[in-house]
Amino acid sequence: MENAKSRKLNWIAYVSVLFLVMLIGIKIGTTFFSTFQLTFILFPLMVCAIIGASILMIISVIHIIKKRSSLSIMSFIPTCINLVFFLILLYQPISTSLLQIEFAIKKDSRMDIVEQFNEGKLEPSNDYLYKIPTPYNKKFISDGNEIFQRGDFLFFYHTRGVIDNFSGYVYNPSGNPPTSDDVQADIIYMKKMNSNWYYVSCT
């Protein structure tokens, strides 16, 4: 009987780890290789991972309550794993740290594009959008391989929404923060990355 309970706890722990690894992979994928297509593909996986982790959290908590008189360390492992899952999912500083790393890695490539824009080397898609040169397409420096220009501001898409939800990095040579008018959308979150760059999420 005890072996059966132990196997059940092991199974819950293993599946919880699987969901945790899925979440970390999705977080890294959507931060470093963000495209609308990738986000569209990974969204169902994220939903499945959240639902699965929630169910396993409930099962593991019920087990702890039922067996509170004879608990072992193993009894708490699935719950701890799922707590880590929801911490990574909900705790904003973790997402912010990933963005800081992504920004630092790709900053030089984005600055190359800024310089090319200032030199008039970028091909326009329309009055406000400019195409990123082909050699930069695989570096994922702007979703859709286009940047948006408005006044002195250059917007590099991080995630390009279906209609109007999007996020990205805004460059301004003067260092002033962008306004909703500058990005043509309501800014719901803004973080200063350095003296000339801001990360914004818009709707």
Q: What is the DSSP string of 80-99?
A: HHHHHHHHHHH-HHHHHHHH
Query: For the whole model, what pTM was predicted?
Result: 0.81
Mean pLDDT of 96-116: 95
Mean pLDDT of 131-142: 93
- Contacts of residue 11, Cβ cutoff 8 Å, sequence gap at least 6: none
Looking at residue 162, what is its pLDDT?
62
Inter-residue contact 19 to 56 (CB < 8 Å): yes
Least confident of 5-9, 38-42, 105-109, 124-128: 5-9
Mean pLDDT of 167-188: 94
Pair of tokens at residue 203: 């709707």
Residues paired with residue 200 on neighbouring β-strands, in sequence order = 168, 190
Please return the burial class of 36, using the count of CB atoms within 10 Å of its CB with bins 0-12, 13-18 and 19+: middle
Looking at residue 74, what is its pLDDT?
83
Inter-residue contact 174 to 193 (CB < 8 Å): no
Mean pLDDT of 21-33: 91
Residues paired with residue 201 on neighbouring β-strands, in sequence order = 167, 189
**pLDDT at residue 2 tops 60:** no
Residue 141 sits at φ, ψ, to 5 deg, of: -90, -15
Mean pLDDT of 14-28: 94
In angstroms, the CA 137 to CA 129 distance is 15
Mean pLDDT in the chain? Answer: 90
Inter-residue contact 5 to 69 (CB < 8 Å): no
**pLDDT at residue 63 tops 80:** yes
Helical H runs in the chain?
2-32, 36-66, 73-90, 92-118, 180-183
**pLDDT at residue 199 tops 90:** yes
Looking at residue 163, what is its pLDDT?
60
In angstroms, the CA 158 to CA 103 distance is 10
Question: pLDDT, tens digit, for every residue of 138-172?
Answer: 899 999 999 999 999 999 999 887 667 899 999 99
- Domain definitions of the chain by residue range: 2-90, 105-202
- Amino acid symbol at 2: E
